[in-house]
Amino acid sequence: MRAKIGDLRRSGPLRHGLNPCQRRSEPLRQRNSILNPPSCILHPRLSTILLVCICVFASATTGCVWEWDQFNVFHTPKPPPGPADSLVLQGDRLEPETAGVEGTAKGDLAGAQELFRRGEYDKAEKVFYKIAENTKHSDLTAEEARYYEAECLRLQSRFPKAADTYNKLLMTFPSGAHREQALKRMYDIANYWLHDTDEEMKAKQEGKHWLVLPTSFVHLEKTKPLLDEEGRAIEILDNVKINDMTGPLADKALWLAGTVKFFREDYVEADHYFSQLVEMHPNSPLTPKAVELAIISKNLSTGGPDYDGRKAAEARKMVHEAIAKYPELAKDREEFLQRQLVGINMQQAEKDFRVAEFYRRTKHPGSAYFYYEIVRRRYPGTPLSDKAAERMKELEAQHEKDEAKEKSKPMFNLPFRTPSKPDPAAPPRQIPPLDANALPPVAGPAGMPSGTSLPR
């Protein structure tokens, strides 16, 4: 009996852990195994250990070094130790730099700079960001980390985030050591983003209007912002101008922004940028051309004689300043300046003439005559000057007629002074008798009533 049981264990279903009563369900389990195969032949932990061993063996044989921190998204990469043989300038000589302790600001900054030197910009950017966001570090350390964070982003061609980081550096440290470099980087990024607009300008100048497509509003590449590339470029140029009002890049930033707005026919904004360039950078080589475009923008942004006339007055003033301060512009563009003056005169004359017409229409002849006289004196030789003189003669004739009517009228026209004829059919007027009791008492001596005895 024992031998039979042993044979069953070696050759029967008990060898596979099955009872004799489970033999009937074996075909069903085979069908289920075909439809639903087992999840894992090995234990999950054993498969994980085997996978790790294979990775370690592959890295050891190929010379690849695995850094397990790269699989942790929320963990900042650990910076390597800084260079041991670096020198720093102390006074008038170079001295060896003391190695920073790992975990300190100096040590982490040196390790991040070592990553930057190796070209590992992704890891270096994370370390620099961690150092810059730590408020316990000194301003010099935070500024250095913030600048190199932006540099890592720029070298990875992540220009939108790099521009924001440069701007954050300028806002936090407006007079820092890396201010000039940050401004230059921001200007270069904005200039790169305006390349598409520049191509559109050139295509329109060549007469290819029906072939020119507007610049794309959405960009998927990492070098450009997702939305509104041109608007983001103007924003960066504004930041460059604000952070360095009189610097070497401010006039160029104003010129680029004004040119884009002028091309888009936004003449109010174009006038703003060009006027700032003329006012704040009079010695810039871009100023003569900016004066010309500012005059055009002022004339085109007035809205006509029915609106505010201050822009036309500013344009006239700028024309006179261009003739006085920029002789090369007055010589080369004399005809242009004279045509602008003629246009400004006509617009201002039209405005004053319409004001006079308004007063004449609303029955205010005195005010209308005053404005007609302004048009006649300020803008002689224009058609409106002759028309204003005719209107003045009409007002004078009307005034003479009104005066003649006033003189023909009686001086006093009051009803109680006009004599009236008595009506014969009316009864005679009866005068009521006076009542003696109603009369006031006769005053006695010294103003006292009669019958009053004087005191003795």
Name which of 259, 340, 349, 335 is nearest 295 in CA terms.
340
At residue 47, the pLDDT reads 67
At residue 420, the pLDDT reads 59
Say yes or no to pLDDT of 1 above 60.
Answer: no
Q: Flag the least confident range among 101-105, 165-169, 331-335.
A: 101-105
In DSSP terms, which residues pair with 308 in a beta bridge?
none
Name which of 222, 251, 226, 217 is nearest 237 in CA terms.
251
Give 268: exposed, middle or buried? Use CB within 10 Å, 0-12, 13-18, 19+: middle
Tokens of 293: 């475009």
Say yes or no to pLDDT of 203 above 90.
Answer: no
Find the mean pLDDT for residues 268-286.
92
For 447: left if phi > 0, alpha if psi spans -120 to 50, otherwise beta; the answer is: left
Distance CA 383, CA 194 (A): 46
Say yes or no to pLDDT of 356 above 90.
Answer: yes
Find the mean pLDDT for residues 411-440.
63
Residue 270's identity, in one-letter code, is: A
Annotate 380-406 with b (16+ C-beta within 10 A) or e (fewer): eebebbebbeebbeebeeeeeeeeeee
Tokens of 228: 């509104």
- For residue range 137-176, list pLDDT tens digits in order: 888 889 999 999 999 999 999 999 999 999 999 999 988 8
Q: Flag the least confident range among 41-45, 66-70, 89-93, 348-352.
A: 66-70
Distance CA 427, CA 344 (A): 81
Name which of 84, 68, 87, 158 is nearest 121 in CA terms.
158
DSSP state at residue 90:
E
Residues 6 or more apart whose Cβ sits within 8 Å of residue 279 = none
Say yes or no to pLDDT of 117 above 70.
Answer: yes
DSSP state at residue 88:
E
At residue 37, the pLDDT reads 47
At residue 387, the pLDDT reads 92
Tokens of 218: 């959405």
Say yes or no to pLDDT of 178 above 80.
Answer: yes
First-to-last alpha carbon distance for the chain, in angstroms, is 178
Per-residue pLDDT band at 52 (split at 50, 70, 90): low
Polymer length in residues for the chain: 456
Q: Flag the least confident range among 6-10, 75-79, 115-119.
A: 6-10
Q: Flag the least confident range among 224-228, 374-378, 396-400, 429-433.
A: 429-433
Distance CA 312, CA 318 (A): 10
**Residue of higher predicted confidence among 374 and 328:** 374
Q: Do 354 and 391 contact (CB within 8 A), yes or no?
A: no
What is the average pLDDT score of the chain?
77
Distance CA 239, CA 187 (A): 9
Find the mean pLDDT for residues 293-301.
90
